[in-house]
Amino acid sequence: MTKSELIEVLAKREFQLAYKDVELAVKTMLEYMSSTLSTGERIEIRGFGSFSLHYRPPRVGRNPKTGDPVSLPAKHVPHFKPGKQMRERVNSCNSPIID
């Protein structure tokens, strides 16, 4: 599901809210989450999951075209850990989700 699809679904489901209001709410929430993570803070949404940053140390990678070694710098990458309720809901399906 893309951001646009999420906005559409929410706007149809919450008919009392204008499409523009739903769009603004989703965009504001995602922007706030991004800026919070960029400061190193953890975001926890009970029953859904938590977002945090994981440190990746520097390493030597390979150029896929030439095979030459490439030095890759250290970095922080976003990480999502689903909450217990999310895991249970996803795993409660008897049929596979992917075709």
The yes/no answer on whether domain 3-91 falls in CATH 4.10.520.10 is yes
pLDDT at 93: 75
Mean pLDDT computed over 68-91: 94
73 Cβ contact list (under 8 Å, min separation 6) = 58
Helix (H) or strand (E) holding 17: none
Domain ranges for the chain, please list them: 3-91
Could you give the CA distance from residue 41 to residue 57 in angstroms, rounded to a whole number?
19
Residue 74: pLDDT over 60: yes
Total-model pTM: 0.76
Residue 97: pLDDT over 60: no
CB burial class (10 A; 0-12, 13-18, 19+) of residue 16?
Answer: exposed
What's the chain's average pLDDT?
Answer: 92
pLDDT at 99: 47
